[in-house]
Amino acid sequence: MTLPAPERVRAAGAALAAEASRFSGYGWMRGTSGNLSVVVERDPLVLAVTASGLDKSELTDRDVVLIDGVGAAIDPSDTRPPSAEAGLHAHIAARTGANAVFHVHAFDAVVAGHRWPGGVEIRDMEMLKGIGHRAHDETVTIPVIRNHQDMTVEAAWFDEVYRPATAEIPEVPALIVASHGIYAWGTDIAAARRHLEITEWLLRFAVATR
């Protein structure tokens, strides 16, 4: 496989470092937790994903690892391991067409997954517009799957709960992994950030009021 141009990888790393700093400031990526990715090539699929074991508040443009469509590292000159969840990032990007996938350990998302393991239903909230749904007269379910250390298992569970967009109903661009955290994705980094922030707000409201 031909690797992407170094300047594209550095640009992806810089963008993800900025997002990681933002989310660390929210308390969503404490210590080395969480991981972010962005697609740098689509055919074949190549993602830049934050390297494992690094403080997410201190990333630089060099702190990403290139992975393929199954989450395996592809740069033989880079010995750093990708995130343990890299395989699920790649699967979500391939399955949904997203170009950015963000995974953080927002506390209320974990609480919501524990409280409602069958999915978190939300309706009649203005903030639903931020994830592409109606503010009224629609029940939106944030899906929940169990936690597992094998990303192929989690990918299969993701496929069981993911509903692609139709002409009538948009997708729900987020997933809670019980006892772990939340994933959100979008067509670009800005969309993934928006979907993550909006979904976390909705979950925080649900946890606080039910």
Q: Give 112-158 pLDDT, tens digit per residue.
A: 999 999 999 999 999 999 999 999 999 999 999 999 999 999 999 99
Q: How deeply is 27 buried, as exposed, middle or buried, from its count of CB atoms within 10 A (0-12, 13-18, 19+)? A: exposed
Kindly state the average pLDDT of the residues 58-79.
96
Give the single-character DSSP code of 127: G
- For residue 66, give the 3-state DSSP assignment: strand
- The position carrying tokens 């409602």 is 116
Mean pLDDT of the 27-47 span: 96
Calculate mean pLDDT across residues 77-88: 92
DSSP-derived secondary structure letter, 80: P
Cβ atoms 49, 83 nearer than 8 A: yes
Q: Is 87 helix (H, G, I), strand (E, B) or coil?
A: helix
- Identify the weakest region by mean pLDDT among 34-38, 93-97, 140-144, 166-170: 166-170
- Mean pLDDT (the chain) is 96
Terminal CA-CA length for the chain: 51
- Give the chain's domains with CATH numbers: 6-209 (3.40.225.10)
DSSP codes joined into one string, 174-203: EEEETTTEEEEEESSHHHHHHHHHHHHHHH
Average pLDDT over residues 8-13: 97
Model confidence band, residue 2 (pLDDT cutoffs 50, 70, 90): confident
